[in-house]
Chains A and B, each alone.
Chain A
Amino acid sequence: MSAPAFYPIFLREMLLFKRKLIRIGYLFSAMVVPVIYLITFGLGLGRSVQMNDTDYLSYLIPGLVAMSSMTNSYTWVASALNLNRLYFKSFQILIQAPVPASAVMVGEVLAGMVKGLFAAGLIITVGFFSAPHFSLTPLLGIALLLNCFLFASLGVVTGMITKTHEDTATYNNFFILPMAFFSGTFFPIEKIPDIFRPFVWILPLTHSNIVMRSQSLNWESVASLVILVGYAMLFFITGERLIRNYSE
């Protein structure tokens, strides 16, 4: 039985990822931002924050899991795709190969998910040791997978539409960074001024945070799951279309 069409694309990314992992710098870069947040907000400012039903660190860890899985899934895919398309030209090998655009999309997204899950795994490990009430719930697992899928798909979209590598950083600064701060990662969205609330509800990371922090299914987590699935489908279909219609 032959491997599925997406497998070589996924394998290629994993071989490159393996090389990066060997370098200590990669591990450091994947960890450094969440660890800084963990120390600053969790152990520093967080000591004075009163939460209703849990300690602040246990509240913060799922948010950091969502944030780091988002940034790693998104950034690695967007950046790699952009570089491979515009500078190294290795993306063109995929376009000239007899594989459907959907297979290229699946391969790229799965590879992005692995990178996101890897970074999330590091935060979860830290959470087990540092946050007394943090636990890995099935809902957190589902939301994590959806979050990685969604943002890896968005990474493909960005990687396909950006015209220079600098554009990737611009998208990051305008969309990803604000999302990391205003989607309930560090504080409950109820504390955001009413005027900004509708904007916050549009952000997919808000819904990842809601589901990751839910202990059981309720109307709010189900609605957020539906929204996450909707976003995931939208970004995946858009990415697939962009690959299919690719032309130099």
Chain B
Amino acid sequence: MIRIRGLTKQYGQIKAVNNLSLTVEGGTVFGLLGPNGAGKTTLIKLMTTLSKPDSGELFVDEHDVIKSPLAVKKIIGVAPQENNLDRELTAYENFLIYAMLHRVSNHQEKISSCLHLVDLWERREELVSKFSGGMQRRLLIARALLTDPKILFLDEPSIGLDPQIRRQVADIIRRTRIDGRTVVITTHYIEEAESLCDRVGIMAKGTLIATGTPEKLKATVGQYIVESVSAEGKLLQSICRTREEANLAARNANCQVVIRKSNLEDVFIKLTGERIE
């Protein structure tokens, strides 16, 4: 479980995280959704002891991150957005150093199982610099699982991956949830947030503007979107609560329309007036 109250982190004049409060229940997948610069990565850095907050309370599994960072470090696994593997070391050496740092007892066995999980065991003796971007990302996620963490933090785990590898990453996250771990994931892929997360927090300008299950969040906006193109070529969208309401809006429009189900991006646009880029 993660408990955050009034958390603030400021860089110069910019409040990257601004008086944020949040509770993430244990054993769930929680998604942080928002555009670049919303404060998602800063929030992850704060939760994983990489940044120190300016004010507020932050507890990870009942451990105070500010007062007992070592206790927090023992129970978390982190796959950061930026690739921080040692490129001049082999995949095995990267995992060995990580396992030793975290005092993983049966590290040979664990390294083998994590590298098998991402189908990279056969290439364990190759330098990471020789791996493709997708392989390196898979290594990052597998390395985060090496310590059997109680809470797993994945910062944009599928950024820049092709659909096949994204599906593989999604499968790993689903498997992790079945194992009973808590997963905190940041993403700006709407489908990823909808399909993987039990609950989603939408962030903008350092604050959480909405939290809830994807269905609940969508329901607050409306289930259907009626889209048409204006005479000036502008995309027009109207949000409808029911299918009947959407059909009526389509009939009243004097042009071609498309009716589709709403998604979390529509929620974001409704709440902020901006798109998730």
Contact = CB atoms under 8 A, between A and B. Distances in A.
Interface of A: 2-3, 7-9, 11-12, 15-16, 19, 88-90, 92-100, 245, 247-248
Contact of B100 (A7, A90, A92, A245): A7
B101 A88 contact: no
A3 B105 CA distance: 11
A19 B90 CA distance: 11
18 contacts: A3-B100, A8-B97, A11-B97, A12-B86, A12-B97, A15-B89, A15-B93, A19-B89, A88-B84, A89-B80, A89-B82, A92-B50, A93-B84, A93-B97, A96-B78, A98-B74, A99-B101, A247-B51
Contacts of B166: none
B100 A98 contact: no
Nearest to A19: B88
A11 B103 contact: no
Contact of B101 (A15, A19, A94): A94
Interface of B: 45, 48-52, 70, 73-74, 76, 78, 80, 82-89, 93, 97-98, 100-103
Top 5 A-B pairs ranked by shortest CB distance?
A8-B100, A97-B101, A89-B84, A247-B52, A98-B73
A224 B131 CA distance: 51
B89 A248 contact: no
Contacts of B83: 89
B97 A96 contact: no
A90 to B, nearest CB: 5
B85 A90 contact: yes
Residue of A11, A16, A88, A96 with highest tally of chain B CB at under 10 A: A96
Contacts of B51: 247-248
B159 to A, nearest CB: 15
A189 to B, nearest CB: 41
A56 B103 CA distance: 52
Contact of B87 (A3, A7, A88, A99): A88
Contact of A248 (B45, B78, B84, B101): B45
A8 B100 CA distance: 6
Q: Which residue, of B48, B80, B100, has the highest number of chain A Cβ atoms within 10 A?
A: B100
Nearest to A103: B101
Contacts of B52: 245, 247
